[in-house]
Amino acid sequence: MANYAIILAAGKGTRMKSDLPKVLHKVAGITMLEHVKRAVDAMEPAKTVTIVGHKAELVQSVLEGQSDFALQSEQLGTGHAVMMAEAALAGLEGQTLVIAGDTPLITGESLKNLINFHVSHKNVATILTAQADNPFGYGRIIRNADGEVIKIVEQKDANDFEKQVKEINTGTYLFDNKRLFEALKDINTDNAQGEYYLTDVISIFRQAGEKVGAYILRDFDESLGVNDRIALATAESVMRKRINAYHMLNGVTFTNPEATYIDVDVEIGAEALIEANVVLKGKTSIGERTVVTNGSRLRDAQIAADVVITNSDIEESIVENGVTVGPYAHIRPGSVLKKDVHVGNFVEVKGSTLGENTKAGHLTYIGNATVGSNVNFGAGTITVNYDGQNKYPTIVGNNVFIGSNSTIIAPVEVGDNALLAAGSVTTKNVPADAVAIGRCRQENKEGYAKRLPHHPDKK
């Protein structure tokens, strides 16, 4: 039987105190909505409808092309939100998952288990539930003396007895598709919040003599519904543990996984070493045996094998095998460091390619440059690439030696094997095999220092 999915994402998320719709807050680098969508994809739905409302266009842009959308222009409750999917789904044979967009920790594995349970029990509705130590705020699962689920009661509607119940509604359910939309016609707003509760369909099914059930999650963490920023931080922390455990099981060493922050799409090769206080963001990938020391921050960086990154920042750049970076280097977007490059202390590289085995050890800025192999940058080299309006390229051939404190005023081309004398200001192209000297000649005035106030003879 076909599976369908409805993701509820129309709410504002008042308790977040944010301009951003709640489901767009991120956990480990991607929005909560994307986490939910990825879990939903594991059940291979024939159609997914995301209910949008508050800042609909913004929410929609995150799942554009991956989901159908239905607009809930006024947020009158979760039951009302599901009704918005009626046009897209109502007549279809099959079973429909309904899931809240604010439960980023639910796994595809659990959703598949939910489906199997639902199908094998021949239920009309199955609630995904969990046992909470502190159930406050969640809907409670009310069972009869035989242990059968009879209804869900919201926190605000619960009596003292019901508030004691620790089994909670995770906000995820599986329904017979047709029966879901029929039952929704019978819900009302007769409750403490004056909303159309989706949860009311459970008692409607029961009263019609239909079979409802609950599949209990073993891991309470998965059920976390993020309503405020405290829960958001909890979600982040649980996700971090999961991500780090995944990498450790793949052969990556962490010196302190509690303080290592890795986004969900980051890839790391076996035998890599990731020290404490490292942040790996976005689509970063790290090759085998690469070492990333404490304090390094990488975003959308492709790092090959056997690289050593010491307390440095790398963004949107490609780093090939055997490169060493840092300490305190900054590799900015659009850079390529080819095999065995060394970029050392206080070096900034932006939008530049450094050829194999090229070295820039100290205090250097390389911007908009294309540099060949085996080039040596002396300390304090600056490519002057910007005139306040435009950026200009510097092109350096192979085996070039750039003396310390060089200023290269782009656009400039330096040919193979050339040497720029230390302290030079290079404004013109330098042919291959040439030495370029662009500095004032030194003049020594014999004995003159004796006339100046610093001299011991003057004191």
Query: Residue ranges for the binding site for UDP-N-acetyl-alpha-D-glucosamine?
Result: 8-11, 22, 72, 77-78, 139, 154, 169, 227, 332, 350, 365, 376
Q: Whose CA is closest to 9, among 107, 97, 85, 81?
A: 81
Choose, from 25, 80, 362, 455, the residue flagged as catalytic.
362
Kindly tell me which residue out of 3, 50, 67, 78 binds ligand UD1, with binding defined by CB under 6 A: 78
How many angstroms separate the CA atoms of 62 and 304, rounded?
A: 30
51: contact with ligand UD1 by CB under 6 A: yes
Residue 80 touches which member of ligand UD1, Ca ion, none, C-beta under 5-8 Å by kind: ligand UD1
For residues 67 and 78, which CB has a smaller minimum distance to ligand UD1 in the complex? 78
149: contact with ligand UD1 by CB under 6 A: no
Quote the least distance from Cβ 186 to ligand UD1, whole Å.
Answer: 15
Quote the least distance from Cβ 302 to ligand UD1, whole Å.
Answer: 35
Contact 101, 23 (CB under 8 A): yes
Quote the least distance from Cβ 36 to Ca ion, whole Å.
Answer: 12
Q: Which of residues 423-452 bind Ca ion (CB under 5 A)?
A: none
170: contact with ligand UD1 by CB under 6 A: yes
For residues 154 and 236, which CB has a smaller minimum distance to ligand UD1 in the complex? 154
For 91, the enclosing helix (H) or strand (E) is: none
23: contact with ligand UD1 by CB under 6 A: yes
101: contact with Ca ion by CB under 5 A: no
How many angstroms separate the CA atoms of 312 and 343, rounded?
A: 10
Contact 79, 184 (CB under 8 A): yes
Q: Which of residues 310-349 bind ligand UD1 (CB under 6 A)?
A: none
How many angstroms separate the CA atoms of 362 and 348, rounded?
A: 10
Residue 291 has which token pair? Answer: 């070492």
Kindly tell me which residue out of 9, 158, 180, 360 binds ligand UD1, with binding defined by CB under 6 A: 9
Quote the least distance from Cβ 225 to Ca ion, whole Å.
Answer: 4
For residues 31 and 244, which CB has a smaller minimum distance to ligand UD1 in the complex? 31
Side-chain-side CA neighbours of residue 71 (13 Å): 5
Kindly tell me which residue out of 4, 5, 6, 10 binds ligand UD1, with binding defined by CB under 6 A: 10
- Binding segment for Ca ion (CB under 5 A), chosen from 220-228, 257-265, 302-310, 374-382, is 220-228
Contact 155, 243 (CB under 8 A): no
Quote the least distance from Cβ 154 to ligand UD1, whole Å.
Answer: 5
For residues 102 and 316, which CB has a smaller minimum distance to Ca ion in the complex? 102
Kindly tell me which residue out of 29, 104, 139, 403 binds ligand UD1, with binding defined by CB under 6 A: 139
How many angstroms separate the CA atoms of 266 and 262, rounded?
A: 7
Kindly tell me which residue out of 13, 45, 225, 351 binds Ca ion, with binding defined by CB under 5 A: 225
244: contact with ligand UD1 by CB under 6 A: no
Residue 6 touches which member of Ca ion, ligand UD1, none, C-beta under 5-8 Å by kind: none
For residues 18 and 227, which CB has a smaller minimum distance to Ca ion in the complex? 227
Residue 76 touches which member of Ca ion, ligand UD1, none, C-beta under 5-8 Å by kind: ligand UD1
Backbone dihedral angles phi then psi of residue 174, each to the nearest 5 degrees: -120, 135
How many angstroms separate the CA atoms of 430 and 424, rounded?
A: 12
Strand order across the 369-371 sheet:
267-268, 285-286, 302-303, 318-319, 336-337, 353-354, 369-371, 394-396, 412-414
Q: Is 342 a catalytic residue?
A: no
DSSP labels, 113-132:
HHHHHHHHTT-SEEEEEEE-
Kindly tell me which residue out of 138, 175, 215, 377 binds ligand UD1, with binding defined by CB under 6 A: 138
For 83, the enclosing helix (H) or strand (E) is: helix 78-83
- Binding segment for ligand UD1 (CB under 6 A), chosen from 97-105, 276-284, 337-345, 439-447, is 97-105
Question: Residue 52: CB partners within 8 Å, gap ≥ 6?
Answer: 9, 10, 59, 60, 69, 70, 71, 72
Secondary structure (3-state) at 96: strand
76: contact with ligand UD1 by CB under 6 A: yes
Quote the least distance from Cβ 408 to Ca ion, whole Å.
Answer: 58
How many angstroms separate the CA atoms of 326 and 349, rounded?
A: 12
Tell me how many residues contact ligand UD1 (CB under 6 A): 31
Question: Cis peptide leading into 431, omega within 30 of 0?
Answer: no
How many angstroms separate the CA atoms of 63 and 138, rounded?
A: 27
363: contact with ligand UD1 by CB under 6 A: no
How many angstroms separate the CA atoms of 64 and 52, rounded?
A: 12
Q: Whose CA is closest to 434, among 412, 450, 449, 451?
A: 412
104: contact with ligand UD1 by CB under 6 A: no
What residues make contact with ligand UD1 under the rule CB under 6 A? 8-11, 23, 51, 53, 72, 75-78, 80-81, 100-103, 138-139, 152, 154, 168-171, 197-199, 225, 227
Residues classed as catalytic: 362
